[in-house]
Amino acid sequence: MKTSGTVYRKLREVKYRYMVEMYKKYLCRSPDHCKFNKPFRIQTDGMVRTVSLCMLHQPAEGGIVPHLLDICEQVGNCTECNAYVCRYTKESVKEMFEVELKNDNLKARKYPDICALEWVLERRAEGIPPFTWFFELYYRIKRGLSKPEQ
């Protein structure tokens, strides 16, 4: 049987592994993670397609200037782009992870091993339930009767 300290260390290890996975997912250089990349839905010939446009050179107000638009959908374009700014930071990714852990339904679906380890720790934290007066009397009598005579 594992001690609660061992289970707690395993819980920290599992949370750290999931955090590293989220860092790799959200801090990589991808068009979806660029601060200036905005998806637009375009309907042509009855089909709806999503196109990612770079809004870096667009004015803050006054609408969209068509001749200043760049299509940014491929990872290769993103890795060579000098204007790339990641919209996520380590702190924002950590906050996203903590928000996911606070939502019980999402945590149960996405992180079942964390739920299991937390459940084990909650059980361990309760310890042995206190004796009622009857059981305490029973065990004292049993202990007294089982002592060898000297």
Q: For 14-59, how does the pLDDT look when each residue is reduced to its tens digit (9 = 90+)?
A: 999 999 999 999 998 888 888 888 887 888 888 888 877 777 766 6
Question: In the chain, where do the E strands start and end?
Answer: 37-44, 47-54, 70-71
Q: Tell me the three state secondary structure of residue 9.
A: helix
Q: For 61-71, how does the pLDDT look when each residue is reduced to its tens digit (9 = 90+)?
A: 666 666 566 67
81-115 in b/e form (b: 16+ CB < 10 A) is beebeeebeeeebeeebeeebeeeeeeeeebeebe
Answer whether residue 131 is part of any domain.
no
Answer whether residue 101 is part of any domain.
yes
Rounded to an integer, what distance in angstroms lies between the CA atom of residue 117 and that of residue 142?
37
Looking at per-residue pLDDT, the higher value among 142 and 21 belongs to: 21
Q: In what order do the strands lie in the sheet with 37-44?
A: 37-44, 47-54, 70-71
For residue 147, the model assigns a pLDDT of 56
Answer whether residue 11 is part of any domain.
yes
Looking at per-residue pLDDT, the higher value among 147 and 98 belongs to: 98
Helix, strand, coil % over all residues of the chain, rounded to 5: 55, 15, 30
> Domains in the chain: how many in total?
1
Answer whether residue 87 is part of any domain.
yes
Q: Find out whether 51 and 113 touch, Cβ atoms under 8 Å.
A: no
Average pLDDT over residues 79-85: 78
Answer whether residue 148 is part of any domain.
no
- The pTM of the full predicted model, rounded to 2 decimals, is 0.65
Is residue 146's pLDDT more than 80? no
Answer whether residue 147 is part of any domain.
no
Is residue 87's pLDDT more than 70? yes
Tokens representing 138? 């029973």
Characterise 89 by phi-psi region: left (phi > 0), alpha (psi -120 to 50), beta (else): beta
Residue 110: give the domain boundaries. Answer: 4-126
For residue 126, the model assigns a pLDDT of 40
Answer whether residue 134 is part of any domain.
no
Answer whether residue 145 is part of any domain.
no
